A and B are shown apart, each in its own frame.
Chain A
């Protein structure tokens, strides 16, 4: 929607022209990539045509565009919601047909679903109703005026959030602490929560670099990899325990941060981004090719699991000279003990990250990070050494990445370069940016949205990443500054925080 159109009503023929234009665009975009499939045959590639997909693509584009036009022209939101529902049904059709490619030219899937049994009718109607409801309530009555990201409701939420940050944080912590008590027997829930927690920790670690110091790091996964491999190698080659390796992994990752950061930190913005991306790839290439040390693409397997602070083991068959966790606690052995222990371990590691970050923000070094983010030249004129300040942010961020990596290695028991691709860096960065840079709770929210939801919809299989990518774009378009946009400097001159919040809400 461009505001240029908003001033006057468009005539009917112009609308038709606009629709035709987008129909042609949709046709040209889908005619080959969607309309023709390349099929592998022993004799070579062959073609299979599927015009139905092209038709659906054009249909959904036209209907979607029509919904936008109607919205622009300020017609009732009932019609808009109907249009959006139709477009959604079209997209749904396309997904389902992708999956069952055999019955070409079959009747529409939604119709098929509805003419089946009673339950399927109910399911279909519910599906349509939900889409319709979402469309209806997300619409504004007459939106000829383009509304910016700060609508009234969301700014109310912002104010409520800002004045209750501590309470929300506390509730969050309590929730995460009692989570295993609620889902104690549910293995997949604990696994998922642990995974989300790893990303929360990585997000908090990267937040120091990106959110506080304002350095765009596209290769954060390198430090994660360094942490994971240093734990795996130390434990396999020198037989060191997890509790000894954890700090070592952090130190290794931090020194890597310093070594990598030293030459490149005077670069600015996008140059830094591309160099860090390069470093991430270099680390991965080395991991793949240094076969003698890292096992190459095969990775390192059967990495030692952590013990209960060196006091007890979690395995069923306890080795000589140590006791099982169940025996120590006087409870029966259960394979869940280790999972829950791992969950609490990463929870505490993540909270340590958060705590350290919050404290660092109040120290001179933290102030210097934020000042540097806002204005580098001013900082230099005030005597802050930019290189050392940036380097410290880089190293501390890397250290937490290293801790998370060591935890990842001990949880999985197997690591390979596959786990440390650019996609991981992108996901972690997306978590930080979507959370609202510098916002600690935002990172939690974004990690749950980005990691939790896609994992829950595992059955979507290959569509998961497709929707993930589209979701990243959609969230950024919806809230460019992140879900909880929040970038006040920690201290302000002559203004208490509450006043500032109240002033912004007006």
Chain B
């Protein structure tokens, strides 16, 4: 077995998995708190990618794209802020009026929102693939074998480190702050939390904003990592990220990250060792297997059936 090749796939898989994980957190938080699949979340991620691309182009036009750290920080900041507002707006328009209503209504409304956002970006930004020159080049050669050098690019390091940092920040936010406490309270019992003085509407809005912010970071990383985006990237990424959230146990933050990493690794290894065409089949196949034998996911708690 060629260990160098294995290591390379591992690195690629972790990078991809980090991106899926960041999107999956948005799904898992929203599902945890209001129990619905936020189908438009994939589009939020796509909008985040577009925001970061446009910010970069503005930086370039303003002539500050030479200062790399400043450009990156601007991209991160602007994209997070603007995309969060989309998350907020989607919740406000399409989900809040349907809260407490018929469950499928919210799902259809979410699918409608997803179609709307996709076409909105397609019309306003064009249907063509948007290329972007690589900003961060180079990397470290980790291992040399006879016919293969293992490359860990700086971009991959940034992605993995940034994901890790965000995970720590958000876990602390949820575990330690009063906002996180409110979120956990709403997750357990919305009515009771409201009676005890938690502003339920605001807490749910914040959850959407947080999810959208993380998705926008994922969007920015994809823009930088692959260098091409289009209006359609949200759908597949969204489905896979939701798969990751279910795989890890929906409602669980570490679960979402774990699920994301697993999906990323499965994809990377499947395309590396078997066929690249059927990588999506592998992803969904694993999902089906996990759900059959462990329906509550890897880190989730089994749901007790109540009458």
Contacts and interface: CB of A to CB of B under 8 A. Distances in A.
B115 A423 contact: yes
Interface stretch (A82-90, A240-248, A263-271): A263-271
Q: Which of B51, B82, B102, B115 has the most CB of A within 10 A?
A: B115
A278 B290 CA distance: 13
A476 B239 contact: no
B105 A38 contact: no
A203 to B, nearest CB: 13
A45 interface: yes
A25 B89 contact: yes
A274 B105 contact: no
Interface stretch (A26-34, A229-237, A298-306, A327-335): A26-34
Interface residues of A, number: 62
Contacts of B113: 469, 473
Interface string B284-296: 1101100110010
Nearest to A210: B104
Interface in B156-211: none
B276 to A, nearest CB: 10
A395 interface: no
A377 interface: yes
Contacts of A34: 124
Given A285-B278, A433-B105, A476-B98, A466 B287 contact: no
B81 to A, nearest CB: 7
Nearest to A264: B288
A16 to B, nearest CB: 20
Interface in B117-148: 117-126, 128, 130-133
Contacts of B111: 426, 429-430, 472
A360 interface: no
A426 B104 CA distance: 12
Interface string A1-45: 000000000000000000000000100110111101110100011
A377 B305 contact: yes
A270 B37 contact: yes
Nearest to B127: A462
B112 A282 contact: no
A477 interface: yes
B109 A477 contact: yes
B116 interface: yes
A476 B114 CA distance: 14
A341 B77 CA distance: 61
A480 B112 contact: no
A407 interface: no
Nearest to B279: A285
B220 interface: no
B28 interface: no
Nearest to B117: A469
Q: How large is the interface on B (under 10, 10 to 19, 20 to 34, 35 or more residues)?
A: 35 or more
Nearest to B277: A289
A275 B291 contact: yes
A33 B124 contact: yes
Contacts of A281: 239, 280, 284
A38 B108 contact: no
Contacts, number: 185
Contact of B281 (A38, A47, A210, A285): A285
A20 B51 CA distance: 23
A426 B239 contact: no
Contacts of A275: 284, 287-288, 291
B130 A263 contact: no
A274 B287 contact: yes
A468 interface: yes
Given A33-B124, A47-B57, A476-B109, A263 B277 contact: no
Given A25-B85, A33-B121, A278-B243, A473 B112 contact: yes
B82 A32 contact: yes
A469 B116 contact: yes
A285 B280 contact: yes
Contacts of A268: 295
A437 interface: yes
Nearest to A434: B108
A469 B125 contact: no
Interface in A257-309: 263-264, 266-271, 273-275, 277-279, 281-282, 285-286, 288-289
A422 B235 contact: yes
B104 A285 contact: no
List the 8 shortest-distance A-B pairs measured between CB atoms, nearest first.
Answer: A472-B112, A469-B116, A469-B115, A278-B284, A480-B105, A466-B119, A476-B109, A473-B112
Given A422-B235, A476-B112, 8 more contacts: A32-B50, A278-B239, A468-B115, A469-B113, A469-B116, A473-B116, A476-B106, A481-B105
Interface of B: 31, 36-37, 47, 50-51, 53-55, 57-58, 61, 78, 81-82, 85-86, 88-89, 93-94, 97-98, 101-109, 111-126, 128, 130-133, 235, 239, 242-243, 246, 277-278, 280-281, 283-285, 287-288, 291-292, 295, 305, 307
26 contacts: A32-B78, A33-B54, A33-B125, A38-B54, A45-B130, A47-B54, A98-B124, A264-B288, A264-B291, A268-B295, A273-B37, A273-B107, A274-B243, A278-B239, A279-B288, A285-B277, A289-B277, A377-B305, A377-B307, A422-B235, A423-B115, A433-B105, A437-B104, A466-B123, A472-B116, A473-B113
Interface of A: 25, 28-29, 31-34, 36-38, 40, 44-47, 53, 98, 210, 216, 263-264, 266-271, 273-275, 277-279, 281-282, 285-286, 288-289, 377, 422-423, 426, 429-430, 433-434, 437, 462-463, 465-466, 468-473, 476-477, 480-481
